[in-house]
Amino acid sequence: MTATTADVKDVKAAPGRSARLRDLGIVLGVVLIIVVLSVSTSTFLTTGNLVNLLDQAAVVGLLATAATLVIISGSFDLSITAVLALSAIVAVAVTNVAGVGPGMVAGVLAGAVLGMINGIVVVRIKVHSFIATLALSIIYRGVAVILTAGAIVYPAEDRATAFQALSWPTVLGGVTAASLLFLLVVAVCWIVLARTTFGRRVYAIGGNEEAARLSGIRVGQIKVAVFAISGVCAALGGLILAARGGSAQASLATGMEMTAIAAAVVGGTSVMGGEGAIWRGLIGVLLITLIGNGFNLLGWDTIYQQVVQGALILGAVSLDRLLRGRRS
């Protein structure tokens, strides 16, 4: 038995007033920060700063997109930065053997395969995704250390310049190729999640996995596909970081998975699954990026930045629980 589009729409609950209230709150928060920074600094609205903001958001944005998809499906992926690092190392290794093009493709394929492994472990072994991806993250980092012998790896000298192409500015006002790649990938994921049957099934599984299974949705296949997409997004983030630094290493992006998950949650993606959107995750990324940019422009001690971000996460999760309690 297979699910029709109508079946899946029935499983996914329509967003209510509480969801719209949360959406309005996060958007107003971003607007408020933009207004404050525009008034209090003379450099915030300059082209250079805005281009820099977009570039800063690229990697976190890709990881937040991955986190949003996985969380909506009712799971967590704590391995995204380990996948990022290992994929970047694979890209450098293959570049040194076969060239930049094959290296980039190999890096993306590595991310997809690692993501599929995550999904298969979660679906087949039925280990909670939080624990499974945490363990797999440690494994992937360990493999990365073995492959690099704990050292930083570089593309061959004659290929180093081409390898860094993603960090180059384009003709669009200095916007980097990495930023354009980020916007393209996010747009594709947004359309897939919001406008396709696959996306509706992701929401259905996150909202009520058993009901989704009974309606004919192949839950296991959808979850593996979601983790594979997460792996691809992570790998693209790894290619961007490797291009910026001209190298890759096992510790690449350590801890950034928490920032990505924070962006998704702060943006309004429910940690309970079945509710959220790519644009919400992007709003969360923008909010966190603006906070960091504001601390720098205003000359504030960045040690307090983590306190602010932590308070935002706690507030977002508390609000989610409150709003869900009112609906139940």
Distance, in Å, from the CA atom of 315 to the CA atom of 162, rounded to the nearest integer, reads 44
Q: Are 103 and 91 in contact (CB under 8 A)?
A: yes
Q: What is the torsion angle, in degrees rounded to the nearest 10, for the CA atoms of residue 242, residue 243, residue 244 and residue 245?
A: 50
Q: Which two tokens stand for residue 47?
A: 């082209």
Single pTM value for the model: 0.89
Q: pLDDT of 35-59, one tens digit each?
A: 999 999 989 999 999 999 999 999 9
C-alpha to C-alpha distance for 27 and 268, rounded to whole angstroms: 10
What's the pLDDT tens digit per position in 155-173? 999 999 999 999 999 877 7
Domains of the chain: residue spans and CATH: 5-327 (1.10.3470)
Query: Could you report the per-residue pLDDT of 238-288, keeping only the tens digit for each?
Result: 999 999 999 999 999 999 999 999 899 888 888 889 999 999 999 999 989
Asked whether 259 and 271 are in contact (CB, 8 A), the reply is no
Phi, psi of 170 (to 5 degrees): -105, -175
229 pLDDT above the threshold of 80: yes
Q: What are phi and psi of 276, to 5 degrees?
A: 150, -175
Helix, strand, coil percent content, the chain, rounded in steps of 5: 75, 0, 20
Distances (CA, A) of 109 to 105, 127, 212, 277: 6, 25, 29, 25
For 65-115, the pLDDT digits (tens) are 999 999 999 999 999 999 999 999 999 999 999 999 999 999 999 999 999
Find, among 98, 66, 19, the residue nearest to 238 by Cα: 66
